[in-house]
């Protein structure tokens, strides 16, 4: 008895903590796994009233298509419903938004960081205001002028609006990042006879990539995940993926092709999945950087 007590029993708390984490992981990732698996089935299996195990084995799918997996949903969504066009639009909008806001962000952020004046507070406030305003309220301000000037529905208009909304944040983030690069570095380059721009080009650019990548990731997420702006500002033939999925819901349900929407959702999820997979460290770093500094 006494000997038993000296051996530490499995800590109750450890068990509790571990089971909590396991449950959380199931909650966090379960829905995604389920939907990805289900997207290769037919409607009767994914929404199986009789027995949920049908969705795992694909009973109806085998009956209808002769195989346990089917890509009917993907074919329907991408080719029949023209989802490829929306994917293309998303690519254009996202790439343009990220490139433009990073260009302005790096140049502006560098200038602000080196100018010595205390812009930081106002930048932070501007970033906060844009974070706080529901984007839809800003859109309702843009909309009528855009109609009047005939700018509505174009991809380029949306890109400009997204860049504008994103800019205070990128400026602030890169500004605080450039502050961490020691001033002596580019000053020594200036002493060696470089111009300002050469100093930036040859000294600062090589060391700025970690900050740019983090900022770029968040710009990407903003542009990719946006629903309020793209759904109101884009005409139906120029829609990006997210508003297209929303409009799928109405039309597709009537035709009984809900699996098209499921496949479209899974397709739109894939890039984000890889993003998290490859850039997990930067994402976590960026999220916490805001907290530590703010």
Partner 1 sequence: MLLFIGLPIVSVAVQSLFVEHPQVLKEVENCDPFRCTKVLQVDTAASAALNEQAPLGQFNSYHTYTNRSHLAFDEIREIWASTQSWKQRFQGVFNLPFYSALIFTLVYTAVVTPFVILLGLCIALGVNRLPKMAKGPTIFASLLPMIVTPLIGSLILFWMLDADGILGATLQLIFNDPSLSLKASAPLTWAMLIVYGIWHSAPFSFIVFYAGLQTVPIDTVEAAKLDGASRWQQVRYVVVPHMMPLLVFITLMQLMDNFRVLEPIVGFSASAKATSLSWIIYNDLSGDTKLFGSAGATSIITIIGVCILLSPILIRTWRDFNRKVA
- Residues 242 to 281: which contact partner 1 by CB under 8 A? 242, 245-246, 249, 258, 261-262, 265, 268-269, 272-273, 275-277, 280
Q: Which residues pair with 234 in a beta bridge?
A: 153
55 in contact with partner 1 (CB under 8 A):
yes
Return the number of the residue (205 or 249) whose C-beta is nearest partner 1.
249
Footprint of partner 1 on 178-197 (CB under 8 A): none
The answer to whether residue 98 forms part of the interface with partner 1 (CB under 8 A) is: no
CB 261 within 8 A of CB 94: no
CB of 40 to partner 1, least distance (A): 14
Is 1 an interacting residue with respect to partner 1 (CB under 8 A)? no
**Intra-chain end-to-end CA distance of the chain, in Å:** 55
Tell me the HSE value of 65 on the side-chain side, using a 13 A CA sphere. Answer: 16
Length of the chain: 294
Rounded to a whole number of angstroms, the minimum distance from the CB of residue 79 to partner 1 is 21
Distance CA 198, CA 202 (A): 6
Which residue carries 């929303």 as its tokens?
A: 246
Nearer Cβ to partner 1, position 88 or 133? 133
Is 87 a binding residue for partner 1 by CB under 8 A? The answer is no
Task: Out of 1, 6, 121, 197, name the contact with partner 1 by CB under 8 A.
Answer: 121
User: Is residue 27 at the binding interface for partner 1, with CB under 8 A as the rule?
Assistant: yes
CB of 211 to partner 1, least distance (A): 17
Residues 207-226 that bind partner 1 (CB under 8 A): 221, 224-225
Nearer of residues 74 and 142 to partner 1, judged by Cβ = 142
75 near partner 1, judged by CB under 8 A: no
Confirm or reject binding of residue 37 to partner 1 (CB under 8 A).
Answer: no
Among the residue ranges 80-88, 178-186, 200-208, 238-246, the one whose residues contact partner 1 (CB under 8 A): 238-246
Q: Is the dihedral of CA 156, 95, 134, 230 positive or negative?
A: positive
- Alpha helices by DSSP H, the chain: 2-6, 12-38, 43-46, 53-57, 59-65, 72-75, 83-115, 120-132, 135-148, 155-180, 183-191, 196-199, 209-225, 228-233, 241-255, 258-293
Taking the complex as a whole, the smallest distance from the CB of residue 230 to partner 1 amounts, in Å, to 10
156 counts as binding partner 1 under rule CB under 8 A: no
Q: Binding partner 1 by CB under 8 A: which of 63, 75, 143, 191?
A: 143
Q: Does 18 bind partner 1 (CB under 8 A)?
A: yes
Q: Residue 44 CB, nearest distance to partner 1 (Å)? A: 9
CA-to-CA separations, 232 to 135, 139, 151, 155, in angstroms, rounded: 11, 8, 13, 12
Among 147, 191, 201, 235, binds partner 1 (CB under 8 A): 147
Backbone φ and ψ of 250, nearest 5°: -65, -50
Q: How crowded is residue 268: how many other Cβ atoms within 10 Å of its Cβ?
A: 20
Q: Enumerate the β-bridge partners of residue 153.
A: 234
């Amino acid at each position: 008895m006494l000997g038993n007590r000296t051996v530490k029993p499995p800590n109750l708390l450890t068990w509790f903590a571990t089971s909590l984490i396991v449950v959380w992981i199931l909650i966090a990732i379960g829905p995604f796994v389920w939907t990805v698996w289900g997207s290769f089935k037919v409607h009767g299996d994914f929404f199986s009233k009789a027995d949920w195990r049908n969705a795992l084995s694909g009973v109806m799918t085998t009956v209808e298509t002769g195989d346990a997996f089917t890509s009917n949903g993907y074919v329907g969504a991408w080719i029949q419903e023209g989802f490829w066009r929306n994917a293309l639009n998303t690519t254009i909008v996202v790439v343009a938004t990220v490139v433009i806001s990073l260009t302005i962000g790096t140049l502006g952020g560098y200038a602000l960081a080196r100018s010595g004046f205390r812009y930081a507070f106002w930048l932070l406030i501007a970033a906060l205001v844009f974070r706080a305003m529901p984007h839809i309220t800003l859109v309702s301000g843009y909309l009528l002028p855009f109609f009047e000037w005939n700018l509505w529905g174009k991809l380029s208009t949306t890109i400009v609006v997204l860049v504008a909304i994103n800019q205070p944040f990128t400026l602030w983030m890169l500004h605080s990042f450039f502050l961490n690069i020691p001033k002596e570095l580019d000053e020594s380059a200036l002493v060696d006879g470089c111009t300002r721009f050469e100093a930036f080009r040859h000294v600062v650019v090589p060391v700025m990539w970690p900050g740019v990548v983090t900022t770029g990731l968040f710009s990407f997420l903003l542009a990719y995940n946006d629903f309020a702006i793209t759904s109101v500002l884009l005409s139906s033939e120029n829609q990006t993926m997210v508003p297209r999925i929303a409009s799928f819901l109405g039309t597709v349900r009537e035709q009984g092709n809900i699996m098209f929407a499921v496949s479209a959702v899974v397709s739109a999820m894939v890039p984000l999945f890889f993003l998290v997979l490859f850039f997990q460290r930067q994402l976590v770093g960026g999220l916490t950087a805001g907290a530590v500094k703010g």
